[in-house]
Amino acid sequence: MNEVEYLRIISGQRQDWRAQTLKPCLWVCSLFYRAVVSFRNRMFDWRLRAIERPLVPVISLGNLTTGGTGKTPFVAYLARWFQQQQIQVTLLSRGYRALPGEVNDEKLLLDRLCPGIPHYQNPNRCASSKQAVKEDAQLLLLDDGFQHRKLARDLDIVLIDAVCPWGHGWLLPRGLMREPKSALQRADFVILTRADQCSPATLERLKVEVAEMLSPDRIACAVFRPQELVNVAGDTESLASVAGKTVWGFCAIGNPEGFRQTLENAGFVVAGMQIFPDHHHYSSSDLEGIGVEAANASADLILTTSKDLVKISEQKLSELPVWAVEIGAEITEGREAFEGILQNLVQEVSSD
């Protein structure tokens, strides 16, 4: 069973006898997972496990579920924001699913989106934080850091996907929750992403639910706006120039349905989409198959995500142009409160 089929089972999209047999087994496994997570958190809460504090402020950006909340666009948003404030920010990430001796797709993308901003990938982020401080970092931005409690932080930001906020309602592996909802009590600020892809009533209910664990003035809403198209050569194309075109999509991200919704909201006619496991490394046969499917669907062009584009070198597949939809994060509600907190960190750094 691959990751795509697993997601179909836990989300309820697949309802055959195998799925119905597997879900109780996954539920039992999730009970053991809950016990391990609870024990680990208690060890940190009671200071029975060491927590290292770097010599500079740390911002953690993470989530409660496994991927799909839009962390990468928000890491870029925060990195550029501090860069504009003349703060030397450095990114720290684990390097999840990187090939041996290589960096992963997130670093490749962030290097392009945040030129000039150092980015250290190391599963031992305490070690990379020390290295960054030696290289004159003034502020550390910890990517996917909510569960990485070994490194102390000055601001803990959690992203929640408004479309699927609680990972299908269960902890791993029955669902996609890394921790129970109660873990939000550790957060300093919560941002509800893809707020434009759910109904206003659903969004309001989610705000109320989150406000049970966090002050309402520490909750913001955000959307991801398509900005332009870009290809592997770095050429760009406006969205208006291809509006209404028939497209074939492919992606290997945590929330593929979010990408489909983005394409449809941008005015494209989505003839179909191929979904691969998160952080998938594309083979030549994968790309050939994408081109064949797109041509058979009479697509005008092939669209993917920026995170997927950095893993391929082809400008065309089956003679169809391949473009990535460049996405930008935008806070639509609660921006003033959020940036006020960021500004406090700027003042802290500037006073040192």
Find all residues with CB under 8 Å of 115, minimum gap 6, and list them. Answer: none
66 annotated among ligand-binding-site residues:
yes
334 is in an annotated binding site: no
Q: What angle do CA 118, 124, 128 make, to 5 degrees?
A: 30
- Give yes or no for a contact between 246 and 299, defined as CB atoms under 8 angstroms apart: yes
**Which among 216, 218, 235, 238 has a CA at the least distance from the CA of 227?**
238
**Of 123, 139, 142, 120, which is closest to residue 131 (Cα–Cα)?**
120
Which residues, 6+ apart, have CB-to-CB distance to 193 below 8 Å?
69, 70, 74, 159, 160, 161, 162, 222, 223, 224, 329
Report the amino acid identity of residue 343.
Answer: Q
Q: 235: helix, coil or strand?
A: coil
68 annotated ligand binder? yes
User: What whole-number distance in Å separates Cα of residue 174 and Cα of residue 29?
Assistant: 8
Residue 70 counted as an annotated binding residue: yes
* 328 appears as a binding residue in the annotation: no
Q: Which amino acid is present at 292?
A: V
Instruction: Answer yes or no: is 262 a known binding residue.
Output: no
Q: Which residues contribute to the annotated binding site for ATP?
A: 65-72
Q: Which residues contribute to the annotated binding site?
A: 65-72
